[in-house]
Amino acid sequence: MATVSLKKLTKRYGNVGIVHGIDLDITDREFIALVGPSGCGKSTTLRMIAGLEEISAGSIEIGGRVVNDLPPRSRNISMVFQSYALYPHMTVRENLGFSLKIAGVAKEDMDRRVAEASAILGLDALLDRRPSQLSGGQRQRVAMGRAIVRDPDVFLFDEPLSNLDAKLRTQMRTEIKKLHAKVQSTVIYVTHDQVEAMTLADRIVIMRDGHIEQVGTPEEVFRRPSTRFVAGFIGSPPMNLHEATIDNGQLVFASGEKLPLPGQFKANVTTGDRVVFGLRPDDIYPTGHGISSGGAADVHQIELPITVTEPLGNETLVFVEFNGSDWVSRMLNPKPLKSGERVAMSLDLSQAHLFATDTGKTLRS
């Protein structure tokens, strides 16, 4: 039960800056996901919160208490490592009870708490095994059990699912969500997988090169990405992004193709501005096969050649050629299409995004 707040948190290795003064306030019982490409400083940030890495500047508060120089054991946190880091020389039971043993908890109390955690995670049958006798998913469960036994203020997860296969990952994702509902602790969850972040988190922190690009609910970062980077990172398949120049209320692309400037940006750009135009696959579709087919505000019709189609059953990803490269579009209620065929596409420009080419910032007001 605790808030976590990072103030100008900075990490340098020698002269190399890794985390550049990030600010973040996490409320009690919130599930926060730190997401970003590999190497952007997520793990470093998490490890600083855990106390495994010294901070170069700034401060960290957990539950209103400054913990900058406290060792990990004094911060009342738990951490689940990407590698699980189970103690190989101990049984599952001993792994679960280790922190309690170190804390000098009485035997009966310890047994009870280990039993509780084991029941929550369904580990009862495995208690006398060693980590080497467990499957990946089971190890993952034990690692989580070890974390909850301590009853910490804050749970830290560092890419806990990235060593599991796709199916198990989805399954464990759901379990983590259930677990959070049950234990009601603050969770900071690091992942490079935006789907994981979207599905699990109350709020998502998108990091890039040691900076925070945007903080927001899954809905916010998806609907209103504040930078071009966030727009490209969140969402699958990713947003279509193309550079263009503004010319008298039109977007002119490098190939010479033109689109009308979406109304919501008219006030913020002038002729000659260089921008990045973005449109999600959901907002471009063969006419009659999209989400907003019912009558969206600002639909533009254009005929484009199909390059490839990827049928997924309930929908088909249609790749159309625009401005010299492929645009991904999502076709609902799919019907068979042939490569090379020219089809009428609907572009819902009311959902379009524009970013300044130089700063990458959104041009939405």
- What is the contact surface with Mg ion in residues (CB under 5 A)? 43
Question: 62 has which bridge partners?
Answer: 4, 65
CB of 60 to another protein, least distance (A): 15
If we measure between CA atoms, which residue out of 221, 184, 216, 346 comes closest to residue 281?
Answer: 346
Please tell me whether residue 93 binds another protein under the rule CB under 8 A: no
**For Mg ion, the closer CB: 67 or 156:** 156
Please tell me whether residue 8 binds another protein under the rule CB under 8 A: no
- Give the residue, chosen from 43, 46, 98, 120, that forms a contact with another protein under the rule CB under 8 A: 98
Please tell me whether residue 231 binds ligand ADP under the rule CB under 6 A: no
- Give the residue, chosen from 22, 60, 117, 134, that forms a contact with another protein under the rule CB under 8 A: 134
CA atoms within 13 A on the CB side of 113: 21
Residue 321 burial class via C-beta count within 10 angstroms: exposed 0-12, middle 13-18, buried 19 and up:
middle
Q: Produce one character per residue of 172-189: b if its CB has 16 or more CB atoms within 10 Å, e if not.
A: bbebbeebbeebebbbbb
Please tell me whether residue 150 binds another protein under the rule CB under 8 A: yes
41 binds, among Mg ion, ligand ADP, another protein, none (CB under 5 to 8 A by kind): ligand ADP
The closest residue (CB) to ligand ADP is: 43
- Give the residue, chosen from 163, 250, 292, 307, that forms a contact with another protein under the rule CB under 8 A: 163
Please tell me whether residue 293 binds another protein under the rule CB under 8 A: no
CB of 82 to Mg ion, least distance (A): 7
The per-residue DSSP string of 152-203 comes to -SEEEEESTTTTS-HHHHHHHHHHHHHHHHHH--EEEEEES-HHHHHHH-SE
User: In the complex, which residues of this chain contact ligand ADP (CB under 6 A)?
Assistant: 13, 18, 36, 38-44
